[in-house]
Structure 1
Amino acid sequence: MQRTAVNPWDWSLKLGYNQAEIIEGMSRHVICSGQTAVDGEGNPQHPGDMRSQINLALDNLEAVLLAAAGMGLGDITRLGIYATDVDEALKNFDLLAMRFGPLECAPPMTLLGVTRLAVPGLLFEIEATAAS
């Protein structure tokens, strides 16, 4: 698979994502549902702690990609992020940089503020599309 970044402006790169990517030569495409800060039984974890919830949601996203598809975070081509407090989520986006930066992966993403998520107590949800 070959990825070509499309960035007519560079401001998004400073935030860790490309405006678009051209994906060529892929053979598999995986769409992951939203991952949150829940344990293996689906119980919410880290109430009131955005940073810990983001970290666990990323762990869960990585587990879904690896377990189900044999892919990793570097194969992600698109992220959708939902947060009950956008400002607090952005304060903790270094967690995304720490995961995606070493992989030289800056998938296009959208961050939306929402009034709540499906399960009370959850603050952050991340969905992804991956390809290889």
Structure 2
Amino acid sequence: MKRTAVNPWAWSLNFGYNQAEIVEGTQRHLVCAGQTAVDAEGNPQHPGDMRSQIALALDNLEAVLGAASMSLANVIRLQIYTTDVDEAMKHFDILGSRFGPLEVAPPMTLLGVTRLAIPPLLFEIEATAAD
């Protein structure tokens, strides 16, 4: 898979994402459902703790990707939903620590919502991946 960043403006790079990417030479696409801070039985974890919820949501995303023989390096698009945009952005270094070493900056959208499907949850991340 070949990825070519498209950034007519550089400001998004400060937030860890490209404005767009041209993705060529893929064979498989994986569309992941929103991953949240739940345990293996679907029980919400870390109520009120945005940082821990982001970390666990990313762990769960990595588990889904791994089950498809992929990793965060294969992610070509992120959609993020949070009940508190300001609080989530304070902890975006977690995303940087996971995606940065892989040298990928998938295009993303961050949306503030009034609530997620399960009320104690504060953060949900959807991904599209390809290889």
Which category describes the TM-score, using the shorter chain as reference length? over 0.9
Letter of the structure 1 residue corresponding to residue 73 of structure 2: G
Q: CA deviation at 1:96?
A: 0.1
TM-score relative to the length of structure 1 = 0.99
- The superposition leaves residues 65-117 of structure 1 with CA deviations (integer Å, 9 ceiling, x where unpaired) of 001x1000010000000000000000000000000000001000000000000
1:76 maps to which residue? 75
Cα offset for 1:6?
0.1
Deviation, 1:27, is 0.3
Q: Name the SS for the 1:62 alignment partner.
A: helix
Q: What corresponds to 2:13 in structure 1?
A: 13
Letter in 2 for 1:79: L
Measure, in 2, the Cα distance between the counterparts of 1:104 and 1:60: 21
What are structure 2's unaligned runs of at least 5 residues?
Answer: none
The whole-number CA distance in structure 2 between the counterparts of 1:4 and 1:43 is: 39
Offset, 1:120: 1.2
Instruction: Give the secondary-structure state (helix, strand or coil) at the position aligned to 2:21.
Output: strand
Normalised TM-score (structure 2): 1.00
**Cα RMSD, aligned residues only:** 0.3
**Identity of counterpart residues, as a percentage?**
77
Secondary structure in 2 matching 1:90: helix
Task: Give the letter for the 1:71 counterpart.
Answer: M
Match of 1:121 in 2: 120
AA matched with 1:2? K
Q: How far did 1:57 drift?
A: 0.0
Does residue 35 of the first structure (1) align with residue 17 of the second (2)? Answer: no
Partner of 1:4: 4
Amino acid at match of 1:89: A
Where in structure 1 do 4 or more consecutive aligned residues deviate above 3 Å?
A: none
* Paired position in structure 1 for 2:104: 105
Q: Secondary structure at the match of 2:55?
A: helix
